[in-house]
Amino acid sequence: MGKNINNTITNAYAILAAVFAIIVAERLDLNQQNVFGNFIQTLGQSILTISAAGEQQEKANMPESKDYEMYYQIKMLKEQIEHLENKLTKKGDKD
């Protein structure tokens, strides 16, 4: 179901872009169309480059968060072991 929604949204963006391009192109001469088209293309490429760099940064940070999660789990396990050892020691003292 989610895949169909994503396809529908993607198709809607493509149609919207085509309609927008036609409306803009009708109001510009050939030179203006070229300049504006190149500007929009450069804008899109810049956004994609920034997005790709952001994804790489997120991927680079993921091991750190996983390491911290593992560190936290180990810390909690050590505390639980210490708690159980204390219980056993107290139980041994009572016997």
User: What is the per-residue pLDDT across 27-69, written as a single tens digit (0 to 9) for each?
Assistant: 999 999 999 999 999 999 999 999 999 888 877 766 666 777 8
Distance CA 58, CA 88 (A): 45
Average pLDDT, the chain: 87
pTM of the predicted structure, to 2 decimals: 0.53
Spans of all domains in the chain: 2-94
Which residue type does 17 have?
Answer: A
